[in-house]
Amino acid sequence: MNLGSKKKKSLKLLFIVGIICATLILAILYLNQEPIRSSYRKPNQKVLLFSHRGYDFFLPENSYASVKAVQDNGFKAVEIDINNTKDNKLVLFHDKDLKRMLGREGEINNYNLLELQKHNLLWQKKETDQRIIELETLFKDFPNLIYYLDLKNPSIKNLNILYSLIEKYKMEDKVIVAHAKLLPHFYSKLKHPKIANALEGFNSGKEKLIKYIPKRLRPNFYSSFFHKISEKQIEFYNNNNMIDNIIVYDINGDNYEKAINKFGLRNLIIDIEN
């Protein structure tokens, strides 16, 4: 190889490296811009209560009757679990396997919706008249509720199906999409930035990681169980004006006052006991 050929090869390599560096710099600058504001709108009240899995102390969890009872009893918001069937329907169902809620063997993802709807849901180990329903049914029948959607399998396919439903029924201002996987959240923030999302499992100590997430990719909300947060974590949220962006699970009569009055929390997923 002569000197001229070596020089051309070096220049070509430098050009490629320059393009890569410029692309990375532009990407970093873009991702650290202020995030696009979501369409989600909280009701005009200081504390928002999400009824956990519907009205699950009195009716089968994640059932039509349970969600209807949430609305009938004056709640503005509901937390429900979303799973997918073999034929790509998004349905209300918490577990991966069918044993606890249907008394059947197998996993929900291996059955079509019509096969699953042949069996009634169980509640307190007894058969009820309720069956697995699609998320779409709730959007049709209860369009005024606010939904915290705990997506159990946040694949790109399921996210796209979910976002299509949200957009079809114009629910952008009433939905929070929640799961614990960071990369699917990044995808959501880039492709559907106006639909609010919540990063789950954000227990005490994880608040230190927020500064490492580029601004445009940061979730709108951070969720954890109440018993897994700490006063130090709450202090961090208050100091960074983030308390409105925190959602906590496992709120009941024993810790409700502490969550509101001591910690100042304003988004509570509550188990309705009476």
196 conformational bin, left if phi > 0, alpha if psi -120 to 50, beta if neither:
beta
Structural domain span for residue 264: 47-270
Reported confidence tier of residue 31, pLDDT bands at 50, 70, 90: low
Specify the CATH number for the domain of residue 220.
Answer: 3.20.20.190
pLDDT tens digits for 153-193? Answer: 999 999 999 999 999 999 999 999 999 999 999 999 999 99
**Is 36 among the domain residues?**
no
**Is 143 among the domain residues?**
yes
Question: Phi/psi at 79 (nearest 5 deg)?
Answer: -100, 130
Question: Measuring CA to CA, which residue among 139, 124, 41 is closest to residue 92?
Answer: 139
Whether 94 and 14 map to the same domain: the answer is no
157: tokens are 């396919």
Instruction: Determine contact, residues 70/100, Cβ cutoff 8 Å.
Output: no
Q: Residue 87: what residue type?
A: D
- pLDDT at 240 > cutoff 70: yes
The CA distance from 91 to 89, in Å, is 6
**Is 38 among the domain residues?**
no
Instruction: Determine contact, residues 89/109, Cβ cutoff 8 Å.
Output: no
**Is 201 among the domain residues?**
yes
**Is 42 among the domain residues?**
no
Whether 95 and 215 map to the same domain: the answer is yes
Whether 17 and 68 map to the same domain: the answer is no
The CA distance from 17 to 71, in Å, is 58
- pLDDT at 22 > cutoff 90: no
- pLDDT (0 to 100) of residue 36: 85
- pLDDT (0 to 100) of residue 254: 92
**Is 263 among the domain residues?**
yes
CA angle in degrees (0–180, nearest 5) for 138-244-214: 95
Whether 185 and 86 map to the same domain: the answer is yes
The CA distance from 200 to 246, in Å, is 10
Biggest CA–CA distance in the chain, Å, is: 86
Whether 27 and 51 map to the same domain: the answer is no
**Is 190 among the domain residues?**
yes
Whether 147 and 221 map to the same domain: the answer is yes
**Looking at the 3D structure of the chain, how many domains does it have?**
2
**Is 39 among the domain residues?**
no
Whether 86 and 23 map to the same domain: the answer is no
Helix axis angle, 182-191 relative to 156-168, nearest 10°?
Answer: 40
Higher pLDDT, 229 or 19: 229
Average pLDDT over residues 260-271: 96
Q: Spell out a b/e string for 124-136, using b for 16 or more CB atoms within 10 Å of the CB, else e.
A: eeeeeebbbbbbe
Instruction: Determine contact, residues 120/127, Cβ cutoff 8 Å.
Output: yes
Whether 78 and 104 map to the same domain: the answer is yes
- pLDDT (0 to 100) of residue 100: 96
Question: Measuring CA to CA, which residue among 50, 82, 54 is closest to residue 68?
Answer: 54
Give the percent of the chain with pLDDT over 70.
89
Whether 117 and 235 map to the same domain: the answer is yes
pLDDT tens digits for 33-79? Answer: 777 899 999 998 899 999 999 987 789 999 999 999 999 999 999 99
Query: Per DSSP, what are the bridge partners of residue 127?
Result: 122
Whether 8 and 131 map to the same domain: the answer is no
Whether 216 and 136 map to the same domain: the answer is yes
The CA distance from 200 to 198, in Å, is 6
Whether 19 and 116 map to the same domain: the answer is no
